[in-house]
């Protein structure tokens, strides 16, 4: 029974991981169809059907289908309240802010703030980590740059962040990655433990390969994906229409099935292990 | 549905009042007080922007979840857990032989797919306050609290601005429904149908709560097994999560002060993952209720 509470506590974070998985997919990709703008004339140079809305060029046909909280039904941009499962406590909450120039995640146990200037992102984070020696919980406060090189032009649908391309996170000895059209990969050197909810990338790597394409509000991410990591994660993920669903093998702590659905001003999901979350745009 | 009485005992009362509270609760259980007509807008929520309070109180979430669980599934789960306790005790005693090789942790793990959504709904339903990471907090008011014009009616159709956010954070309160069955009180088939939804991964129902359950009265085996779970966790120096989840309510208490149910009514709470799309939960409950001679009589459905 000794590990029970620790397991429950860590599992409580998994739902946040699932939520963030959606956000990570959201944040990890976007193409150069998302031009920043001050007025519509600036957008017309990139396409006759583009207009300037909330600082970003968008297809004028998408205007009018707006949400209620600062974003539109065709974009995840906005401020989101998220509630998710924990064990032994009421459902926990976090606030996620998404825009073409920022990703801000705040919860009761920490935060991750990433703000963009050109292709350079400044990342501030504070999160709970578990010591591999003592198994005790501690806190990591980290500040590092993330730089995108070789931007890739692709349609990422509702995802507002322009992140497709090659990445260096920290320095080149820390983490590097590639968000491509049809494949995503990344790996890290000896960076130490990451957040409890995240896949372990300390001296490891993860690869996602699109096996077939599907239509999706997530643009080019639509399709059937195979995800593997050097730390034992093996998942099959399908992104179709507004739904992300998948299953992960039993060898990792992400074992089981999950679904995530985007429905204009709401994102909700659950796992086969009973974890749930719902996010509502303000 | 009747509005709660004003003599509710504060759930986080001062220790010195516990004895008095016990007597008062017992008296209320034996002689139900007269209650006023309900407010169709439901309980009131109060937005309080400030520092997040430290949540240290023990919420009998697992007890409430199990009290809501259909009897057959509950009995099977408690049987498995008790057998696992016996097995673990045998392993720990060099004079005994463990022939079962069961582990309480494994039993809980196996139950997680159906039990965790119920616990999530139960712990959030029992929480007096819901706090966002940016300090936005929502307090669920008991009927005895002096009203303020800024209070948010939990079941109102108006859904914009801070009120919308407050209702989202206090989702078990704002999305709960009250279902009234036939006046003769025979709700067995309704309970069975709603219970099946709570155990179905595709169902939207989490909790189906009767008036006795909301007063801490339920299958006595639940308390017996949870005491053993709590004792075992204590001996193994488990942290507070298990101990909090395994706490047992005071019999005759008032677990959810903002609601008082008639004997032929049920408080039905959705799963967190089923509060969207918005119509999913009320549509399912309405369909089940109408098939069993019942109807939704309260809530934002």
- Alpha carbon B2 to chain centroid distance? 18
Give B133's contacts in chain A (Cβ within 8 Å): 93-95, 106-108, 111
Model confidence over B58-67: pLDDT tens digits? 789 999 999 9
DSSP assignments along B159-214, one per residue: --HHHHHHHHHTHHHHS-EEEE--TT---HHHHHHHHHHHHSTT--EEEEE-HHHH
CB contact under 8 Å between A108 and B273, yes or no, is no
**Coil vs helix vs strand at B267:** strand
Q: Does B204 touch chain A (CB under 8 A)?
A: no
**B146 burial level (CB within 10 Å; 0-12, 13-18, 19+):** exposed
Closest Cβ–Cβ partner in A1, A85, A263 for B276: A263
Dump pLDDT digits (tens) for A235-264.
Answer: 999 999 999 999 998 766 678 999 999 988
Distance CA A128, CA A139 (A): 5
Percent of chain A topping pLDDT 90: 42
Closest among B39, B278, B32, B292 to B179, alpha carbons compared: B292
Which residues are registered as beta bridge partners of A240? A243
Listed residue (B76, B111, B64, B74) closest to B207, CA to CA:
B64
Structure-token pair, residue A58: 């968008």
Task: Name the residue among B123, B236, B271 with its Cβ closest to that of A2.
Answer: B236
Name the residue among B114, B134, B168 with its Cβ closest to that of A280: B168
How far apart, in whole angstroms, are the C-alpha atoms of residue B80 and residue B100?
11
List B residues 69-108 in contact with A (Cβ-Cβ < 8 A): 88, 104-105, 108
Helices (H), chain A: 4-27, 40-44
- CB of A273 within 8 A of CB of A12? no
Closest in B126, B237, B240 to A2, CB measured: B237
In chain B, residues with a C-beta closer than 8 Å to the C-beta of A83 are 124, 168-169, 171, 272
Strand partners, B177: B268, B299
- What confidence category does residue B30 fall into, taking pLDDT thresholds of 50, 70 and 90? very low
Check whether A113 has a pLDDT greater than 60: yes
pTM of the model: 0.78
A28-59 pLDDT tens trace: 223 334 566 555 566 556 665 555 554 556 55
Parallel, antiparallel, or unpaired for β B177-180 and B295-299?
Answer: antiparallel
Find, among B222, B232, B174, the residue nearest to B61 by Cα.
Answer: B222
Q: What angle do CA B249, B250, B251 make, to 5 degrees?
A: 110
Q: How far is CA A262 from CA A23, A130, A157, B289, in A?
A: 11, 32, 12, 29
Answer positive or negative: Cα dihedral of A30, A35, A39, A43. Answer: negative
Q: Given an 8 Å threshold on Cβ–Cβ distance, is A93 in contact with B88?
A: no
Nearest-Cα residue of chain A relative to residue B228:
A1
CA A229 to centroid of chain Cα atoms: 17
Record: contact A1-B160, CB cut-off 8 A: no
CB–CB contact B112 A91 (8 Å): no
ipTM of the complex: 0.80
Structure tokens at B63: 């007890």
């Amino acid at each position: 029974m000794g590990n029970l509470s620790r397991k429950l506590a860590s599992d409580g974070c998994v739902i946040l991981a699932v939520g963030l998985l959606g956000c990570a997919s959201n944040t990890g990709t976007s193409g150069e169809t998302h031009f920043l703008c001050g007025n519509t004339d600036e957008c017309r140079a990139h396409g006759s059907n583009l207009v300037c809305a909330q600082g970003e060029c968008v297809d004028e046909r998408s205007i009018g289908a707006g949400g209620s909280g600062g974003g539109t039904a065709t974009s995840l941009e906005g401020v989101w309240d998220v509630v998710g499962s924990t064990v032994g406590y009421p459902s926990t909450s976090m606030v996620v802010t998404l825009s073409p120039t920022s990703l801000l995640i705040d919860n009761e146990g920490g935060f991750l703030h990433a703000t963009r200037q050109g292709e350079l992102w400044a990342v501030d984070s504070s999160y709970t980590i578990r010591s591999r020696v003592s198994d005790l919980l501690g806190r990591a406060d980290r500040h590092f740059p993330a730089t995108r090189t070789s931007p890739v032009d692709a349609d990422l649908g509702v995802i507002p962040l322009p992140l497709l391309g090659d990445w260096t996170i920290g320095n080149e000895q820390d983490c590097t990655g590639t968000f491509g059209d049809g494949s995503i990969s990344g790996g890290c050197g000896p960076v130490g433990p990451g957040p409890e909810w995240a896949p372990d990338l300390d001296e490891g790597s993860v690869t996602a390969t699109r096996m077939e394409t599907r239509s999706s509000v997530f643009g080019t991410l639509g399709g059937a994906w195979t995800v593997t990591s050097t730390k034992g994660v093996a998942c099959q993920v399908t992104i179709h229409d507004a739904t992300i669903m998948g299953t992960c093998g039993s060898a990792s702590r992400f074992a089981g099935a999950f679904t995530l659905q985007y429905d204009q001003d709401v994102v909700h999901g659950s796992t086969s292990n009973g974890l749930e979350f719902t996010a509502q745009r303000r | 549905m009747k509005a709660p009485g004003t003599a509710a005992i504060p759930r986080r009362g001062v220790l010195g009042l516990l004895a008095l509270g016990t007597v008062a609760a017992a008296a209320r259980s034996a002689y139900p007080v007269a209650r006023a007509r309900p407010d169709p807008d439901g309980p009131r929520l109060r937005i309080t922007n400030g520092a997040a309070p430290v949540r240290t109180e023990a919420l009998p979430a697992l007890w409430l979840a199990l009290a809501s669980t259909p009897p057959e599934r509950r009995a099977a789960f408690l049987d498995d857990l008790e057998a696992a306790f016996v097995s673990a005790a045998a392993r720990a005693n060099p004079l005994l032989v463990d022939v079962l090789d069961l582990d309480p942790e494994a039993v809980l793990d196996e139950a997680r797919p159906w039990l965790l959504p119920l616990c999530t709904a139960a712990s959030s339903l029992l929480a007096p306050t819901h706090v966002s990471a940016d300090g936005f907090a929502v307090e669920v008011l008991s009927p005895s609290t002096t009203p303020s014009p800024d209070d948010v009616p939990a079941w109102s159709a108006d859904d914009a601005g801070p009120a919308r956010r407050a209702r989202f954070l206090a989702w078990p309160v704002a999305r709960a429904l009250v279902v009234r069955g036939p006046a003769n009180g025979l709700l067995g088939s309704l309970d069975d149908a709603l219970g099946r939804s709570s155990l179905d991964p595709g169902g939207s129902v989490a909790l189906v709560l009767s008036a006795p359950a909301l007063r801490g009265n339920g299958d006595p085996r639940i308390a017996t097994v949870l005491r053993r779970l709590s004792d075992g966790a204590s001996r193994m120096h488990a942290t507070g999560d298990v101990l909090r989840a395994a706490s047992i309510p005071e019999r005759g208490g008032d677990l959810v002060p903002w609601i008082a149910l008639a004997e032929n009514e049920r408080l039905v709470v959705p799963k967190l993952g089923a509060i969207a799309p918005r119509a999913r939960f009320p549509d399912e409950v309405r369909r089940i209720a109408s098939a069993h001679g019942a109807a939704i009589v309260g809530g934002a459905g």
